[in-house]
């Protein structure tokens, strides 16, 4: 029953909705920054509220009402964090890490909810908190909604067709269920005095209604269930429409059967426990908390006829807890959007996802579908119990899910020693295939429509492959000509196997499967085998289109048993993650840096030694005037992005490397700029080294060609970066003119540094911006970033940003220009992107980058005249030693002199006599007094001078 559809984007693994086992994809990289799942809008989460999970090592700082750690105290003030409290204050850490199937137990004891100022963007608050390293995750508080479509009341019992359709009558001849088996109806409550429900409730006789917590479970008088939303013992629905949803759902699963009253539920003798999660208007305000309550209070099956497109780790933690820690089966509605959008909790691992069908086994028009669905069940026009002791017909996956849940409860009664996952698998693998009836949805309605008789009578087999691991044994960036190795854990959930084979297949022409099978052979019940030593081998074909989505199928065979599992892989992406030294970043095919798309999606940002990203957004900007600026960064209106660059040649690794240890090359143009295009063609290259002096930077180089018929004048080109270093509200910017670098840093203790250094000759232009309303005297980018403002940033100087205090949110642009490019000609501009622990650290890397670029690659643009920019001195001011770096070639016979303020020579030497390290010279200053001096380098045809200061 493993709806084991997994989507892998580039090298990021996203696993969706797997019942049997832990099906996350293991790769070498993890997404470090928050981004909303597809389909999520502002209506799908609570503004100003977040969910946080503290890392285990900081448990000692946790209380039920707060988290008293110094870094968090500081940042919580900046983010206006208030009303922080544990969601499950009574929970403790699991005694062991994993269960006997090697599945990791969930720890709910460190999960908090908190409010924050709605003046702040939720994405930045999340990234800010994650940057502290204190939390496993921080995410929005997603809103769920019920999944049903009301219908006119039926005048007959035709809506009871579902019992025949799932073969319930024949199944009940085998097993009518057990009153000790309980389905938790986690919903809007129930009509607990309804004539067809009152005898089906699982009453807690250990805690009668007397104002005392007789059973000492922390809930007073939870005799007939619990209202988790209101924290009281009255789970009664509060009216018709959405508030009455839970009463209809209750009857689908567990309406009293064979009692001479009303309708019948699929669970026959099965009892249900009402767990109310909504307010009186039907808003689901305690949905996942309700799952925990049901899991803790004896519900073997937990039904969730609700959900939404937002799916974070908090929800997965709750499912893990219910399934792995408490051995329950969670059944959930696939959603009523009529498309393939993932709907949570249905799309989580370990959840039995249920799509809806009608009385002809045709997919209900409203039902979601997809390879993440496990089974289908009738959900159209279902007649069931309703508000105020009435009955009505309703449609939705909300009805399909409890019908499946009631059936699962009878499976549990038939196989009492099965785990929750095994119950789900037994129901899944005995379903009737309905692909022939639904050819347009073949493979997307699960194994089929459930058949309760088969589930009770068949000795079934079920195999799933979990913990998929994909690698190309190289950079784990899956592009054309790469050979992928796919392995994972093969788990046998049900009856023993004698000769299992697993085969990989696909209909996609984007790949060629080189090795398509592995043979685990005989396997006992609940046994696990891994094919790491015999992986599937898949080659990505040169013809694969950009961002090709490949649907793979795993086929399991053992005698007469055949089963399938599917997963998706997106390959030949138009960006590459770079992690060859201390810097981690992403290079795209369209001029963006850090992330391929807006909202910090598809990429690493910019990291240093595995830190959280220090960059919110980055990219190349090229402008000729205030009306003509081409780029792919934020635009004139908030929320808008300019998309002027388009890929001509997708960025790819250069094999074998030519200039560095990891060369990338691509081409893009500005054809998408429309009327303001400059007809540019840009060759983009990246160089990376891991040697000691060069491990803290990467180099990006752009050859900008005038591909038009008119001269371009006034052209400036530069790198835009919205730096978010640790707490983004504590960032500052300055510049080091000697190394031609703009740099940003965090003012926090042990704050990190990041810099952008101009490597090619030409004017060094640096514009530091305060990302605040009004711009604090600089460019006001808070209300949007117009072409005029972009050109101003490219062509004018502003040395600092961040104010006089601890700093604020900042943005930096380092550029060069102006240039004039005639038709067919080009210029070259190059920059080093640098990370470090201190200012001296990034200055050293800036110098090393310049040396590497000029003297190792030999790629810098030619300079006809020497200038002071060719001479770098550090530290400035100096104390006991002066380091000298020349950007131009020198000879051993060149002379170096130091003159005092009166022009008198106080030091003179040939270069060959000095202590040199590559192109570095070291001059002792211990014999010189404090003051202003001039360093002079004399060659055969030229001389360069530069002023510096000695302090004592």
The whole-angstrom separation of Cα 427 and Cα 454 is: 8
Half-sphere exposure of 86 (CA within 13 A, CB side): 18
Catalytic residue among 107, 187, 558, 574: 187
Determine the 3-state secondary structure of 504 from DSSP.
strand
Q: 78 vs 62, 85, 111, 117, 900, CA distance in Å?
A: 20, 18, 21, 10, 49
The whole-angstrom separation of Cα 834 and Cα 608 is: 9
Strand partners, 835: 754
Token pair for residue 57?
A: 């090592």
Give the Cβ contact number of residue 727 at 10 Å. Answer: 24
Query: Is-catalytic flag, 398?
Result: yes
Catalytic residue among 380, 398, 660, 826: 398
DSSP E strand stretches across 750-790? 753-758, 765-770
Contacts of 97 (CB under 8 A, 6+ apart): 104, 105
Question: 56 near 107, Cβ under 8 Å?
Answer: yes
Determine the 3-state secondary structure of 912 from DSSP.
helix
Contacts of 303 (CB under 8 A, 6+ apart): 183, 184, 185, 186, 187, 249, 253, 331, 332, 401, 402, 405
DSSP 222: -
Strands 226-227 and 271-276 turn out to be parallel
The whole-angstrom separation of Cα 94 and Cα 100 is: 14
Query: Is-catalytic flag, 245?
Result: yes
Question: 811 near 786, Cβ under 8 Å?
Answer: no
Determine the 3-state secondary structure of 288 from DSSP.
helix
Catalytic residue among 194, 245, 248, 342: 245
Cα-flanking dihedrals φ and ψ of residue 589, to 5°?
A: -95, 5
The whole-angstrom separation of Cα 411 and Cα 138 is: 38
Contacts of 929 (CB under 8 A, 6+ apart): 950, 952
The whole-angstrom separation of Cα 591 and Cα 620 is: 5
Burial class (CB within 10 angstroms; exposed 0-12, middle 13-18, buried 19+) of 941: exposed
Give the chain's end-to-end CA distance (angstroms, integer): 75
The whole-angstrom separation of Cα 133 and Cα 144 is: 29
The whole-angstrom separation of Cα 913 and Cα 385 is: 97
DSSP 902: T
The whole-angstrom separation of Cα 337 and Cα 307 is: 11
Determine the 3-state secondary structure of 522 from DSSP.
strand
Query: Is-catalytic flag, 187?
Result: yes
Question: 787 near 817, Cβ under 8 Å?
Answer: no
Ordered alpha helix ranges (H), 662-801: 787-795
- Over the Cα atoms of the chain, what is R_g? 33
DSSP secondary structure, 526-558, as one string:
T-EEE-TTS-EEEEEPTTPPTTEEEEEEEEEEE
DSSP 439: G
Sign for the pseudo-dihedral over CA of 162, 165, 171, 173: positive
DSSP 505: E
The whole-angstrom separation of Cα 88 and Cα 3 is: 29
Query: Cα 928 to the chain's mean position, in Å?
Result: 57
Ordered alpha helix ranges (H), 178-286: 245-254
The whole-angstrom separation of Cα 540 and Cα 548 is: 10
The whole-angstrom separation of Cα 803 and Cα 558 is: 69
**Which residues have a catalytic role annotated?**
187, 245, 398
């Amino acid at each position: 029953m493993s709806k084991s559809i997994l989507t892998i984007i580039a090298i990021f693994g996203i696993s969706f909705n797997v019942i049997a086992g832990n099906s996350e994809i293991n790769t070498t990289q993890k997404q470090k920054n928050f981004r909303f799942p597809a389909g999520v809008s502002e209506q799908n989460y609570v503004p100003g509220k977040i969910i946080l999970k503290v890392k285990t090592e900081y448990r000692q700082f946790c209380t039920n009402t707060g988290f008293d750690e110094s870094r968090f105290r500081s940042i919580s003030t900046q983010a206006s964090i208030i009303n922080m409290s544990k969601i499950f204050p009574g929970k403790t850490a699991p005694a062991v890490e994993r269960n006997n199937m090697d599945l990791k137990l969930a720890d709910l004891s460190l999960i908090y909810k908190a409010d924050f100022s709605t003046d702040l963007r939720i994405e930045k608050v999340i990234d800010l908190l994650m940057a502290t390293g204190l939390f496993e995750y921080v995410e929005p508080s997603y809103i769920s909604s019920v999944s049903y479509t009301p219908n006119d009341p039926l005048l007959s019992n035709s809506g009871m067709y579902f019992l025949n359709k799932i073969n319930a009558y024949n199944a009940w001849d085998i097993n009518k269920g057990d009153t000790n088996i309980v389905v938790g109806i986690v919903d809007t409550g129930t009509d607990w005095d309804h004539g067809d429900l009152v005898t089906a409730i699982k009453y807690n006789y250990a805690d009668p209604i007397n104002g005392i917590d007789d059973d000492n479970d922390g809930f007073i008088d939870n005799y007939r269930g619990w209202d988790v939303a209101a924290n009281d013992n009255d789970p009664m629905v509060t009216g018709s429409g959405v508030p009455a949803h839970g009463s209809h759902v209750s009857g689908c699963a567990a309406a009293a059967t064979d009692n001479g009253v009303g309708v019948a539920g699929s669970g026959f003798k099965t009892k249900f426990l009402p767990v109310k999660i909504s307010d009186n208007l039907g808003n689901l305000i305690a949905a996942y908390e309700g799952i925990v309550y049901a899991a803790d209070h004896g519900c073997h099956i937990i039904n969730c006829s609700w959900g939404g497109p937002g799916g974070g780790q908090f929800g997965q933690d709750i499912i893990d807890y219910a399934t792995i820690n408490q051995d329950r089966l969670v059944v959930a509605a696939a959603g009523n959007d009529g498309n393939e959008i993932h709907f949570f909790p249905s799309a989580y691992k370990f959840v039995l996802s249920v799509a809806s069908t009608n009385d002809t086994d045709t997919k209900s028009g409203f039902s979601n579908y997809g390879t993440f669905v496990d089974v289908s069940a009738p959900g159209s026009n279902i007649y069931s119990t309703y508000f105020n002791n009435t009955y009505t017909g309703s449609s939705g996956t909300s009805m399909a899910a409890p019908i499946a849940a009631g059936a699962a409860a009878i499976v549990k009664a038939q196989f009492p020693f099965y785990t929750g996952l095994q119950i789900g698998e037994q129901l899944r693998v005995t379903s009737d295939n309905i692909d022939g009836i639904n050819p347009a949805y073949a493979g997307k309605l699960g194994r089929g429509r459930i058949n309760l008789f088969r589930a009770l009578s068949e000795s079934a087999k079920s195999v799933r492959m979990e913990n998929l691991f994909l690698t190309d044994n190289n950079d784990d960036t899956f592009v054309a000509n790469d050979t992928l190795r796919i392995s994972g854990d093969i788990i046998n959930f049900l009856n023993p196997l004698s000769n299992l084979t697993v085969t990989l297949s696909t209909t996609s022409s984007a790949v060629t499967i080189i090795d398509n099978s592995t043979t685990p052979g005989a396997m006992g019940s609940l046994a696990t085998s891994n094919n790491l030593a015999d992986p599937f081998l898949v080659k990505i074909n040169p013809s694969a289109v950009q961002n090709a989505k490949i649907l793979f199928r795993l086929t399991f065979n053992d005698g007469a048993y055949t089963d399938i599992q599917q997963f998706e892989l997106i390959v030949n992406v138009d960006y590459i993650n770079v992690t060859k030294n201390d810097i981690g970043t992403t290079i795209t095919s369209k001029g963006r840096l850090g992330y391929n798309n807006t909202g910090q999606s598809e990429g690493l940002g910019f990291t240093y030694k595995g830190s959280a990203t220090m960059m919110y957004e980055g990219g190349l900007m090229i402008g000729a005037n205030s009306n003509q600026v081409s780029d792919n960064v934020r635009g004139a209106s908030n929320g808008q992005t300019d998309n002027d660059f388009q890929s001509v040649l997708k960025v790819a690794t250069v094999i074998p490397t030519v200039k560095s240890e990891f060369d990338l090359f691509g081409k893009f143009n500005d054809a998408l700029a429309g009327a303001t295009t400059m007809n540019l063609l840009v060759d983009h290259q990246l160089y990376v080294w891991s040697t000691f002096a060069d491990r803290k930077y990467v180099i990006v180089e752009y050859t900008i060609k005038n591909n038009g018929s008119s001269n371009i004048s006034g052209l400036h080109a530069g790198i835009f970066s919205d730096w978010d270093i640790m707490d983004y509200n504590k960032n500052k910017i300055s510049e080091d003119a000697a190394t031609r670098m703009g740099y940003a840093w965090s003012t926090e203790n042990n704050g990190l540094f990041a810099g952008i250094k101009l490597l090619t000759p030409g004017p060094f232009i640096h514009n530091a911006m305060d990302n605040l309303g009004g711009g604090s005297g600089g460019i006001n980018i808070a209300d949007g970033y117009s072409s005029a403002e972009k050109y101003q940033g490219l062509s004018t100087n502003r040395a600092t940003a961040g104010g006089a205090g601890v700093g604020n949110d900042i943005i930096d642009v380092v550029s060069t220009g102006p240039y004039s490019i005639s038709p067919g000609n080009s210029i070259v501009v190059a920059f080093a992107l640098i990370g470090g622990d201190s200012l001296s650290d990034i200055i050293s890397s800036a110098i090393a980058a310049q040396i590497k670029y000029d003297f190792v690659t030999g790629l810098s643009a030619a300079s006809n005249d020497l200038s002071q920019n060719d001479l770098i001195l550090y530290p400035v001011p100096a104390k006991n030693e002066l380091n000298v770096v020349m950007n131009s070639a020198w000879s051993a016979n060149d002379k170096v002199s130091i003159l005092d303020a009166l022009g008198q020579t106080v030091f003179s030497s040939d270069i060959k006599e000095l202590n040199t390290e590559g192109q570095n010279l070291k001059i002792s200053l211990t014999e010189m007094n404090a003051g202003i001096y001039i360093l002079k380098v004399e060659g055969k045809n030229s001389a360069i001078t530069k002023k510096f200061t000695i302090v004592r």
